[in-house]
A = this chain, B = another copy of it.
Amino acid sequence: MRLDPDRLFPAEKDTRRIARAIYETVADLPIISPHGHTDPSWFAENLAFPDPAQLFVTPDHYVFRMLFSQGIPLEKLGVPRLDGGPTETDGRRIWRLFASNYYLLRGTPSKIWIDHALQTVFGIEEVLSENNADETYDHVADCLSRPEFRPRELFDRFGIEVLATTESATDRLNWHKMIRDSDWSGRVITTYRPDPVVDPEFEGFSSNIAQLGEITGEDTTTWSGYLAAHRNRRAYFKSFGATSSDHGHPNARTENMLPAEASALFEKALAGKCTPQEADAFRGQMLTEMARMSLEDGLILQIHPGSFRNHSLPIMARFGRDKGFDIPTRTDFVHALKPLLDEFGTNTELSIIVFMLDESTLSRELAPLAGVYPALKLGPPWWFFDSPAGMMRFRQLTTETAGFYNTVGFNDDTRAFCSIPARHDVARRMDCSYLASLVTSGQLNRQEAFEIGQDLTYGLVKKAYRL
């Protein structure tokens, strides 16, 4: 199969023609990737990717979770065990298992991304299967050995204008330093992710905070020193291009305590004496503190609540975090965000981007909130929802109440480098399809649709992330 040039456009011919016309004006715009999880060492060292399985299978939990769901052990896909026990290391064997089970991904966005990457990056037009496993493995492996498939060369070829990675608050940012000190001009920036020093329930919370104190020279055993340490690190991250912080909490709870109360809670947290409810309150307070710092230093505040992380005890015990077992849960935003919004929600200098993993909140809570609070913007659908249908639902459920201009363009949010162009292409096609449907139904004229197409692809993301 060759990729259909009209893929993902509406079936009805007139609407498809309009979608295609808008798409042609945005297809080649540069990629702005303001939130993601690629590895900065790739761009610092610019070494060849090791093998096809290491590029497409082993690090991609969307892929291995689906194969696991059909009974294929993670060990056979090369996923490392915490105890260092044996797992498959032969890339070819992993690739064969992947290829012969590739049909399991039918109907998923992963298949769209992989088909796109195999064709546009590696020139493979056949659908992956048992029959072509060895041939495709050899072909991709051969490509990877060539200089034009090194990370920096792909970065340029993909047309990436800026790419944000995400680092923990105590990360020294050495890879970013190496990128900055190199002669390469690619713009790879970092993002401030302080979960391990903000969440009292994170593994090693108090030692993480001690480390934060060491790095910053602040006395992080006190509330004011702890806050100062955050300010210090935010400034350091900014010096490596960061324009935002990122916060992944179990829920959207915010708090707005008096300093004495916050300080007392911090001491309790540091002593490991928080109840789960207090830990939750502390995380909530820290979102408000981060908003306050954002008003000082201009970083965007990204909040993405609602995931029950590492849902399976046995998998967590055997393989650790981030193995495809993060499951969305019902999320409340209306009550949870109120303390933060009462304090800062009408401040036009602040920019808070909220993401969701519970689509029932889109029309009910998030679009109504983003459609009135100037500080609040809606992040795009992601995780399980950056599918074509998920993107369409997002527009259909939010535009009527929040419009287009309270959204912030697309985030690929990926660890899978080769999927970046594919993901942005899917987003562009779906936005153009949605715009075309509004034209066909007389809700927008063509000129309006073309303008919005530019905004959704390029203008809004640059503005929202101050890039």
Where the two chains meet, the residues of A that have a C-beta atom closer than 8 Å to any C-beta of B are 1, 3-4, 6-12, 14-15, 65-66, 68-71, 103-109, 111-112, 127, 308, 311-315, 324-325, 327-330, 332, 334-335, 338, 341-342, 345-346, 348, 357-360, 363-365, 367-374, 376, 384-385, 387-390, 396-397, 399-406, 437-438, 440-445, 448, 451-452
In the bound complex, residues from chain B placing their C-beta under 8 Å from that of A389 are: 396-397, 400
* Of B390, B443, B452, the contact of A7 (CB 8 Å cutoff): B443
The answer to whether B372 touches A401 (Cβ under 8 A) is no
**Cβ-closest 4 pairs across A and B:** A7-B442, A4-B442, A387-B400, A107-B399
Closest chain B residue to A399, Cβ basis:
B107
The answer to whether A329 touches B8 (Cβ under 8 A) is no
The answer to whether B66 touches A403 (Cβ under 8 A) is yes
The answer to whether B328 touches A342 (Cβ under 8 A) is no
Supposing A104-B403, A107-B403, A332-B330 touch, asked if A445 and B7 sit within 8 A by C-beta, the answer is no
The answer to whether B400 touches A104 (Cβ under 8 A) is no
Tell me how many chains of this kind the complex includes. Answer: 3
The answer to whether A107 touches B363 (Cβ under 8 A) is no
Closest chain B residue to A385, Cβ basis:
B363
| Shortest Cβ distance from residue A214 to the other chain B in the assembled complex, whole angstroms | 37
In Å, the complex CA distance between A308 and B334 comes to: 8
Most buried by B among A71, A440, A442: A442
In Å, the complex CA distance between A359 and B385 comes to: 15
Closest chain B residue to A448, Cβ basis:
B106
| Shortest Cβ distance from residue A191 to the other chain B in the assembled complex, whole angstroms | 25
In Å, the complex CA distance between A107 and B15 comes to: 16
| Shortest Cβ distance from residue A322 to the other chain B in the assembled complex, whole angstroms | 12
In the bound complex, residues from chain B placing their C-beta under 8 Å from that of A14 are: 11
In Å, the complex CA distance between A359 and B71 comes to: 27
The answer to whether A69 touches B359 (Cβ under 8 A) is no
The answer to whether A11 touches B12 (Cβ under 8 A) is yes
* Of B314, B364, B365, the contact of A342 (CB 8 Å cutoff): B314
In the bound complex, residues from chain B placing their C-beta under 8 Å from that of A11 are: 10, 12, 14-15, 437, 440-441
| Shortest Cβ distance from residue A23 to the other chain B in the assembled complex, whole angstroms | 13
The answer to whether B312 touches A341 (Cβ under 8 A) is yes
Closest chain B residue to A406, Cβ basis:
B69
In Å, the complex CA distance between A357 and B367 comes to: 13
Closest chain B residue to A348, Cβ basis:
B71
In Å, the complex CA distance between A445 and B451 comes to: 33
Closest chain B residue to A64, Cβ basis:
B372
